[in-house]
């Protein structure tokens, strides 16, 4: 990934002072002439994958829950504490959320409450399952839905039949509280843990994890649905296979969401090296925590650096400054991304969806910015990013004072 930009050296009155970043961590001069991309995904090498590919060639079984898919499901089940046949691999996490919602047997057109502060895949999956997304605000301290706040919304009379709870950038969720919510309200809960491979745990609630190339644990494309509910797992698998159940007769709504043997091969190779790459991501998070701690007005996303690994780093900036900061960083060769934009409620595809008041979402939309994060990011890179971020904030502050 190449950033096409004019690099601006960090000089002038608005450059960060030495007391912001330790002198020993100052970026080397060469960094001023190099661009740092937002992502550089790293999947297993050809040599790592080759034995699995040779097994596929030998068996000539390419899809339809082949031996490698079965092996992957067994290994993931063992790692995550799921019983046999309750973990279902899928072609991608969006399809997994759709299948999990279909498996619940909800009324077509029913309201499916979810945060607007999420990726577009979440409401797209609900619509694909025949449901109507209803956007709800998130809790400021977690960036996630709060079950007590959702209860208050239900008391207003909304006929909500399902809630999709999103793990923000892989952060752990209050699963017990959401299980209790489902038990007491009768509203079904699905966990969108697309980025949460390192924090997902097996429970009666179906959790959907992405194995996209950009995720912390990746297969290029793919995902899985995790639950301790064997009957639900059986229905999810049926929904992922045209509604078939041990026959070629469609007994329920379904579509094709099966993982191929090739993506299972990459996933198995990734799983073998997961401990090593998990430590790499944790080290990057440690560097960012140290480098950003001395910059006023900047905070990392909730839970960041608390022992779980993520494949992205997001910061919250001073009010409504993310677009301007992003432009300044790009001029200095640091690519950023507004991962969830302004929230799903402003996107044309979801313009007709019902929603409540969204003050936290709208605030986060103008303040949250994703910084570069990938396995071979170096400590020098992180301190350079922190330096140009400090420079950008000081420059922006000076412009606002002048105006």
What pLDDT shows up at residue 359? 98
Beta bridge partners of 114: 135
Edge-first strand listing for the sheet containing 313-316: 299-300, 313-316, 368-371
Domains of the chain: 23-43+274-402 (3.90.1150.10), 46-271 (3.40.640.10)
Residues 212-215: contacts with CB under 8 Å, at least 24 apart: 212/92, 212/93, 213/41, 213/43, 214/39, 214/41, 214/311, 214/312, 215/311
The Cα-based distances of 267 to 42, 85, 258 in angstroms read 12, 18, 14
What pLDDT shows up at residue 59? 98
What pLDDT shows up at residue 17? 40
pLDDT digits (tens, 9 = 90+) for 101-160: 999 999 999 999 999 999 999 999 999 999 999 999 999 999 999 999 999 999 999 999
pLDDT digits (tens, 9 = 90+) for 291-343: 999 999 999 999 999 999 999 999 999 999 999 999 999 999 999 999 999 99
What pLDDT shows up at residue 220? 97
What is the rounded (10 degree) CA torsion for 336, 341, 342, 347?
150
Which residues have CB under 8 Å from 64's CB, separation 6+?
A: 241, 258
Which residue ranges in the chain fall short of pLDDT 70? Answer: 1-33, 398-403
What pLDDT shows up at residue 398? 58
Q: Sign of torsion, CA 106 109 111 115?
A: positive
What pLDDT shows up at residue 399? 60
């Amino acid at each position: 990934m190449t950033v096409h930009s004019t690099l601006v050296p960090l000089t002038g009155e608005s450059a960060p002072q030495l007391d912001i970043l330790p002198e020993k961590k100052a970026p080397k001069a060469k960094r001023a002439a190099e661009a740092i991309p937002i992502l550089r995904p790293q999947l297993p090498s050809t040599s790592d994958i080759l034995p699995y590919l040779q097994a596929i060639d030998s068996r000539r079984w390419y899809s339809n829950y082949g031996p490698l898919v079965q092996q992957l499901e067994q290994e993931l089940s063992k790692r995550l504490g799921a019983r046999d046949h309750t973990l279902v691999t899928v072609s991608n996490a969006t399809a997994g959320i759709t299948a999990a919602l279909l498996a619940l047997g909800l009324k077509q057109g029913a309201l499916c409450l979810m945060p607007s502060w999420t990726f577009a895949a979440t409401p797209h999956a609900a619509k694909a399952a025949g449901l109507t997304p209803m956007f709800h605000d998130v809790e400021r301290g977690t960036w996630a839905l709060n079950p007590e706040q959702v209860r208050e919304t239900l008391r207003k009379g909304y006929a909500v039949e399902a809630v999709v709870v999103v793990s923000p950038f892989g952060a752990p969720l209050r699963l017990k509280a959401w299980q209790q919510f489902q038990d007491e309200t009768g509203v079904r809960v699905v966990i969108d843990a697309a980025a949460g491979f390192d924090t997902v745990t097996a429970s009666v609630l179906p959790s959907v994890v992405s194995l996209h190339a950009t995720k912390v644990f990746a297969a290029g494309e793919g995902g899985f649905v995790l639950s301790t509910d064997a009957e639900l797992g059986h229905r999810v698998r049926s929904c992922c296979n045209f509604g078939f159940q041990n026959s070629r007769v469609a007994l329920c709504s379904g579509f094709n969401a099966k993982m191929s043997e090739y993506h299972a091969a990459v996933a198995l190779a990734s799983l073998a090296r997961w401990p090593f790459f998990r430590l790499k991501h944790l080290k990057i998070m440690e560097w960012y925590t140290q480098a950003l701690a001395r910059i006023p007005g900047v905070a990392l996303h909730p839970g960041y650096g608390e022992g779980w690994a993520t494949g992205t780093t997001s910061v919250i900036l001073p009010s409504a400054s993310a677009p301007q900061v992003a432009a300044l960083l790009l001029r200095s060769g640091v690519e950023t991304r507004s991962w969830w934009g302004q929230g799903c409620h402003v996107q044309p595809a979801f313009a007709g969806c019902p929603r409540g008041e969204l003050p936290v979402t709208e605030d986060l939309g103008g303040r949250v910015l994703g910084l570069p994060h990938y396995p071979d990011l170096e400590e020098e890179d992180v301190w350079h990013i922190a330096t140009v971020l400090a420079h950008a904030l000081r420059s922006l502050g000076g412009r606002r004072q002048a105006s």
